[in-house]
Structure 1
Amino acid sequence: MEFSRRQGLKVGLFASVSALGVALAGCSTGTVGGSAPAPSQAAADSFPVTVKHVYGETVISSAPQRVATISWVNDDVAIALGVIPVGMPKNEYGGNENSSTAWKDAALERAGAAIGTAKGPAQYSEVDGVNFTELAKTNPDIILAAYSGLSQEDYDKLSKIAPVIAFPKSAYGTSWQESTTMIGAALGRSQAATELIAATEKTVKDQGAKYPQIAGKSFIYGNLEPSKSDGVNVYTSADNRPKFLASLGMVLAPVVVAAEKGADGFYVQWSAEKANELESQVFVSWVPDAKTKDSIVADPLLGQIPAVKKGAFLADSNQALTLAISASSPLSLPWALDAFLPQLAAAADKA
C-alpha cells in the first residue's frame, strides 16, 4: 500500500530540555552545510561507504558536506549526530511558529544554527509530497530518507539530484534506531550513532522506571474514529508507537499479535462492530481535541473496548507530543517523556 505524506501522517500518526541534553551529551554541532566532531569520534569513518535499503544500495564516495532530508525523523537524526542539514521539511503537523519543533529548535540553537538565521537550514513544504524543486535548490550531496514513504519513482527522481538513503524495508516502518544507524553510516559517524542510540535508550529506560505500574501491562496503540464502521486502525509491532511502548516494558496485546500476521504495513484495520474484542490492559490513542476523547468513550461501539470501558485509556490531543512519539527520534523521545509518561501511568493505574 502506498501513502501520500499527508495520508501517512493521518493514518500513521497516530518534556524536558534536560533530558534532551542527555541524548546529545558531548555532541558538538556545526553550521549549516558543515559539521563538527560527534561524541567520542575524533576521526570519521573511512569512505567510500555503502548503505543498503529497499531500492538497492547507495555508495557515498566521501563524507557528505551538504545534507538534505525529506519526511520526519531524518533531520532530527542528522542534527543529533552533529550535522546541520542545508534543507529540511517544515513541520506542518505538530509544528510551532517556526514550522519546526521544540526539540529541533533547542538542538539547532545549541549549534548556533537557529531556523531563520543565516546559519540555519532552509525549509520546504511537503504538504503535497516530496518537494523536488525546493530541495534541489539547496544543492545537496546526499538526501536522507531512512524514515519515509518514498516510492520507487520518487527515489529515482531524487537520485538525479544526489545520492539517496531510502528506508530499509517498509514505508514509515523504520525504527529510530535503524534510522540513526543508517544515517550515521552515510555521514561517516557510525560510532557516534551507536553512542547516541545507547544514550537515548538509557534515557527512555531510566525515565520509564520511575513508573513501575507501566511495566508488564498489555497495550494496544490505535487510532479511533467514532461513528465509522471502519473506525479503528490498530498499529502493529512494525510501527514506532508500539515499539516505544515495548521499550518501556509494556507488552503488545495478543489480539494485535494475531491480527498482524500476514499484514503488510504498520497498521491493520479493525471493524468498530468488533471493538469489544480489542482486549488489552491499556489503550493508547491520539485525538484532535478533548471532545473527541469524550465521543469515543460515549460511542456505543468504541466505548466497548475493554480498556476504554475501564478508563485505562490515554488519548492525547497535543499534536507536538503525538508527533514526537509517532515519528520518534533521538531528539523527540527525551523531550516527550515528561509529558507522556504521567498520562500513561495514570491509564495503567486503572487497568
Structure 2
Amino acid sequence: MRVLRVLALTMAVPLTLSVTAACSTGAAGDGDTEAVEAASGVDADAFPVTIEHALGETTIEDEPKRVVAAGFSGADFPLSLGVVPVGAAKITYAGTEEFSTTYFDDALAEIDGAEAPTRLDETDGLPVDEIVRLEPDLVTATQSGITQEEYDTLTDAGIDVVAYPNAPYTTTWQESLEMEGRALGRSELAAQIEDETTQLIADTAEEFPQLQDKTFTFGGPNAGDFSSFYVYTDQDNRPRLLTDLGMKNTEFVQENSEDGQFLFNVSSERASSLDADVFLTYATSEDEVADLASNPLTRQIPAIADNRWYATVDVTEAVGFSAPSPLSLPSALERYVPQVAAAVDGNGSGS
C-alpha cells in the first residue's frame, strides 16, 4: 500500500460576488509584462501598512501591482480579493493539466482581462530566481513553507514579503485572509469574505447536526506494513475545520499536539489509542480502502472495525480541507462533509 505522505503537506461555485467586488489585477508572464489596469478597490488610508510575521516585519508603502503567491492555496487569497497574481505555485496534487484548480480558474474567469499566473514549481522550496524574474513588488507567503534564507534573498532583492504568522503550514484561512487583505489594501473586502465563508460553514453544520460534539481522529498509516500512523494535530487546518463544524478532537490528539507541528506519529502497537466517534483518512484506490478495512492492525481502531470511518479516494474531494481558502471551501463543504456525516452514522468506507 503506497503512502500518501504528500497529503500531510498539502493540503462547487466560488464566491464570485466577493471576487468581482474588487478589480485591481495583474497579468501573468515575464518580468516586463504590464499589469492589467482597472479601477482600484483599495481601502482609504490603506498604505503604508506594516505587517508582522514569523520571519520579520514588512512595511508596504503603496498598493502592490505585481503579486506572487507562494504555497498550495496561496493564489486563492489575492484572487478572492480581486487581485490576480502574476505568479503562483504549481498545483501538482489534485490540480488541472495547467497546474491550477477548477475553483481558481472559475474565479479568474470572473475578472475581465485577467490572465492565468505563471505557475512555479515549489517541490524543492521556493524558486527564488524565477520569482525575482517576475519582478513582483509583493510575495504573499502566509500559506507556505518559506524559509528564512528564501525570505532574506527576496527582501534583499527589494521585494516585500509577507510570511506566515507563526509556523509553516499552520496558518488558518482566516489569518491568511486578514493578513493579505491588509497587504493588498483590501481589509474591508477581506472581512466581508470571511463573514460569507464563516456563514457557509455554519450553514453546513446546521445541515448535518449529527456532527455536533462528535470526536474524530484524522490520520493514516505511514507505510505499507502499517508499522506506524501519522495523526494531524489540532494545529492542522483539517481538524480546525472539523471543529468549526462542531466536532471535537480526541483528548489523545490534544495531549500530543505540539506548538508549530501539524502532525505526529504513533506506532501500530498504540493504534487503539486513535479511536474516536469517527476516523478519517486517505487512500489511493478502492483496493487500499479494502486493505484498511480488513487489516488486523487498522482494525484495532474501533471506529474502523465498526465502520465509523471514511477514506477519501478522490483527491479533489477533500483538498479544500487540507488547504482551505474562500475559493476552495464551498466545494469541500459540499462534497466532503456529507461523507463524514455518513461515517458518523455508521455508513463509512467499509459499507
TM-score (ref. length: structure 1): 0.89
Q: Residue 43 and residue 163 in structure 1: after superposition, are their counterparts in 2 closer, same or farther (change >3 A)?
A: closer
For residues 261-287 of structure 1, give each alpha carbon's deviation from its aligned partner in whole angstroms, at most 9, with x where no partner exists. Answer: x45411111111110121210111122
- The whole-number CA distance in structure 2 between the counterparts of 1:305 and 1:37 is 56
- The whole-number CA distance in structure 1 between the counterparts of 2:112 and 2:332 is 23
Determine the structure 2 residue equivalent to 1:276: 272
Is the 2:42–2:186 contact (alpha carbons within 8 Å) kept by the matching residues of 1?
no
- The whole-number CA distance in structure 2 between the counterparts of 1:282 and 1:217 is 8
Is the 2:73–2:323 contact (alpha carbons within 8 Å) kept by the matching residues of 1?
yes
Answer with 166-175 or 133-142: which moved more: 133-142
Answering whether residue 80 of structure 2 is matched by residue 80 of structure 1, we say yes
Determine the structure 2 residue equivalent to 1:248: 245
Determine the structure 2 residue equivalent to 1:305: 301
Q: Residue 278 and residue 8 in structure 1: after superposition, are their counterparts in 2 closer, same or farther (change >3 A)?
A: closer
- The whole-number CA distance in structure 1 between the counterparts of 2:226 and 2:259 is 20
Determine the structure 1 residue equivalent to 2:233: 236
| Counterparts of residues 304-323 of structure 1 (less than 5 Å) | 304-323=300-319
Answering whether residue 133 of structure 2 is matched by residue 127 of structure 1, we say no
Q: Residue 212 and residue 201 in structure 1: after superposition, are their counterparts in 2 closer, same or farther (change >3 A)?
A: same
Determine the structure 2 residue equivalent to 1:94: 94
Is the 2:23–2:83 contact (alpha carbons within 8 Å) kept by the matching residues of 1?
no
Determine the structure 1 residue equivalent to 2:53: 53
Determine the structure 2 residue equivalent to 1:143: 139
Displacement after TM superposition at 1:185 (Å): 0.6
Is the 1:234–1:269 contact (alpha carbons within 8 Å) kept by the matching residues of 2?
yes
1:146 alignment partner AA: T
- The whole-number CA distance in structure 1 between the counterparts of 2:296 and 2:223 is 9
Q: Residue 135 and residue 230 in structure 1: after superposition, are their counterparts in 2 closer, same or farther (change >3 A)?
A: farther
Name which of 305, 328, 332 aligns with 1:332. Answer: 328
Q: Residue 98 and residue 276 in structure 1: after superposition, are their counterparts in 2 closer, same or farther (change >3 A)?
A: same
Q: Residue 335 and residue 233 in structure 1: after superposition, are their counterparts in 2 closer, same or farther (change >3 A)?
A: same
Q: Residue 216 and residue 153 in structure 1: after superposition, are their counterparts in 2 closer, same or farther (change >3 A)?
A: same
Answering whether residue 177 of structure 2 is matched by residue 180 of structure 1, we say yes
Q: Residue 29 and residue 102 in structure 1: after superposition, are their counterparts in 2 closer, same or farther (change >3 A)?
A: farther
Is the 1:180–1:197 contact (alpha carbons within 8 Å) kept by the matching residues of 2?
yes
Determine the structure 2 residue equivalent to 1:156: 152
| Counterparts of residues 30-49 of structure 1 (less than 5 Å) | 30-32=25-27, 33-34=35-36, 43-49=43-49
Answering whether residue 343 of structure 2 is matched by residue 347 of structure 1, we say yes
Local SS of the residue matching 1:268: strand
- The whole-number CA distance in structure 1 between the counterparts of 2:45 and 2:283 is 43
Q: Residue 209 and residue 24 in structure 1: after superposition, are their counterparts in 2 closer, same or farther (change >3 A)?
A: farther
Is the 2:217–2:279 contact (alpha carbons within 8 Å) kept by the matching residues of 1?
yes
1:316 alignment partner AA: T
Displacement after TM superposition at 1:127 (Å): 2.2
TM-score (ref. length: structure 2): 0.89
Q: Residue 25 and residue 111 in structure 1: after superposition, are their counterparts in 2 closer, same or farther (change >3 A)?
A: closer
| Counterparts of residues 260-299 of structure 1 (less than 5 Å) | 260=257, 262=258, 264-299=260-295
Local SS of the residue matching 2:142: coil
- The whole-number CA distance in structure 1 between the counterparts of 2:171 and 2:113 is 27
Determine the structure 2 residue equivalent to 1:3: none
The alignment covers a number of residue pairs equal to: 336
Q: Residue 329 and residue 93 in structure 1: after superposition, are their counterparts in 2 closer, same or farther (change >3 A)?
A: same
Answer with 332-341 or 78-87: which moved more: 332-341
Q: Residue 130 and residue 297 in structure 1: after superposition, are their counterparts in 2 closer, same or farther (change >3 A)?
A: same
Is the 1:94–1:322 contact (alpha carbons within 8 Å) kept by the matching residues of 2?
no
Give the 4+ runs in structure 1 shifted more than 3 A: 7-10, 19-31, 33-38, 41-45, 225-230
- The whole-number CA distance in structure 1 between the counterparts of 2:97 and 2:42 is 36
Q: Unpaired segments of 5 or more residues in structure 1?
A: 1-6
Is the 1:144–1:166 contact (alpha carbons within 8 Å) kept by the matching residues of 2?
yes
Is the 2:226–2:297 contact (alpha carbons within 8 Å) kept by the matching residues of 1?
no
2:318 alignment partner AA: T
Q: Residue 192 and residue 347 in structure 1: after superposition, are their counterparts in 2 closer, same or farther (change >3 A)?
A: same
For residues 298-332 of structure 1, give each alpha carbon's deviation from its aligned partner in whole angstroms, at most 9, with x where no partner exists. Answer: 22212211211111111111222332210111110
Answer with 71-80 or 156-165: which moved more: 156-165
- The whole-number CA distance in structure 2 between the counterparts of 1:264 and 1:31 is 33
Determine the structure 2 residue equivalent to 1:210: 207
Answer with 285-294 or 24-33: which moved more: 24-33
